[in-house]
Every structure is written in structure tokens, then in C-alpha cells.
A and B are shown apart, each in its own frame.
Chain A
Amino acid sequence: GEDVEQSLFLSVREGDSSVINCTYTDSSSTYLYWYKQEPGAGLQLLTYIFSNMDMKQDQRLTVLLNKKDKHLSLRIADTQTGDSAIYFCAEQASGGSYIPTFGRGTSLIVHP
């Protein structure tokens, strides 16, 4: 079955880099996503990566994918207080009904 694991909390200082990690089990995953959820809001798609890519960079965000180890990470450079939120990793397999499976989310706390 599919399973996505994330650590629950990460605390960083403003200006530092944040690295949020995720592991998944389904080797047939084709898309891997990072979503951001601010308090009381829905999920906002931040970025995604295809399974045939190793890295994707988008401004302050860098996604790294190690397909062999089924490990995905999200690096946020120069973390700001506005980055405080819950970050969800999700994977979507190529088979079945293409429904993504989400991790439990990592709460990122940015302090001055």
C-alpha cells in the first residue's frame, strides 16, 4: 500500500534555510507534490516534481528527489516568518485512480 511519512515539526530561525523531508513507499509514483497550509486555510500547491527528475528549483524553493531511496525534500532558502505553516508532501502513483496520498504534514515554525 501507499504510505507517506514526514516529521511533524521543524523550528528554524528567520533567515536560515529550512529542509523538510518526506519518504514514500510506492515506487510507481509519477508526481510528487509539496503543499502549504496556513492556519484556517486550504492547501496551496507550492511545487511538484516528476519522478524522472532529481531536482527542481523555483525561486527560494528547491525540491530534491532521491528515487532510489524514495526520499523527497523541500528546501526553503532565507526562511521568513510568513513561511510558518504546515507543509504536506503528497505522492501520486501511475496506476489506480491517480488519487494522491498525503503525509501528515510538517509544522514549520520560524522564529526571529
Chain B
Amino acid sequence: NAGVMQNPRHLVRRRGQEARLRCSPMKGHSHVYWYRQLPEEGLKFMVYLQKENIIDESGMPKERFSAEFPKEGPSILRIQQVVRGDSAAYFCASSRADGYTFGSGTRLTVV
């Protein structure tokens, strides 16, 4: 059981480029949650997905951000035309009955 796998661990992008963050949930889990952690802030919910469906995207910025969880393959969080304010740690979690299992995160740095 490999747990929740996120890649890459670190990602550096120039302003205006695109960032793609990947998350593979725990085996047998079909629910994925993306959170963002800004420096010295808590975790902010972004989006909740099930296979091929977005269930709740109330925490997603209206522009430049999108997420998908296809039938096959990992969930992808996509940030277009990145800006310095997008620099943060992005965590993915998959749920089980007694809590959420988090991946180790992707640390995005926009230069």
C-alpha cells in the first residue's frame, strides 16, 4: 500500500508558465481532495473530486486553476499562467472512514 502519491515533490516555474501537479490516491480510494498551504497559513480546501466528477470546487480560484480526476490515471491540478502568489505547498488527500490520508505535497515555487 503505497499511500497517497504526489509528484513532483518540488516544482519551479517561471511566471506565465503552466504547472501540473499529480496525485494518485490510495489504492481503492476514489475520492481526492486538493488543499493549498501558503507560507505560515493553514490548509485551505480547493477542490473535491471523484472519478470523472468534480463534487465541490468552492475553494478553487475562479481563473487559471482547474482540476480533473480521469477514469484512468492520477488526479491533476493545473495552474495556468502562474504568478508569484501561487507559490505554496499543494497537498492531495484521499479519504477513508476515520480520516484523510495526505500525500507529501508538491512545493511550487514561481520565480
Give A contacts to B, CB under 8 Å: 4, 31, 33, 35, 41-45, 48, 88, 97-105
Contacts and interface: CB of A to CB of B under 8 A. Distances in A.
Interface string B89-106: 001010100111111110
A68 to B, nearest CB: 24
Report the interface size class on chain B: 20 to 34
Given A99-B48, A102-B42, A45 B33 contact: no
Given A48-B98, A102-B42, 20 more contacts: A33-B99, A35-B102, A41-B104, A41-B105, A42-B4, A42-B102, A42-B105, A43-B43, A43-B93, A45-B99, A48-B99, A88-B42, A98-B95, A99-B45, A99-B56, A102-B43, A102-B44, A102-B45, A104-B42, A105-B42
**Of listed A31, A35, A99, residue having the most chain B CB within 10 A:** A99
Contacts of A33: 99-100
Contact of A43 (B6, B44, B48, B91): B91
A33 B97 CA distance: 12
Contacts of A35: 102
B111 interface: no
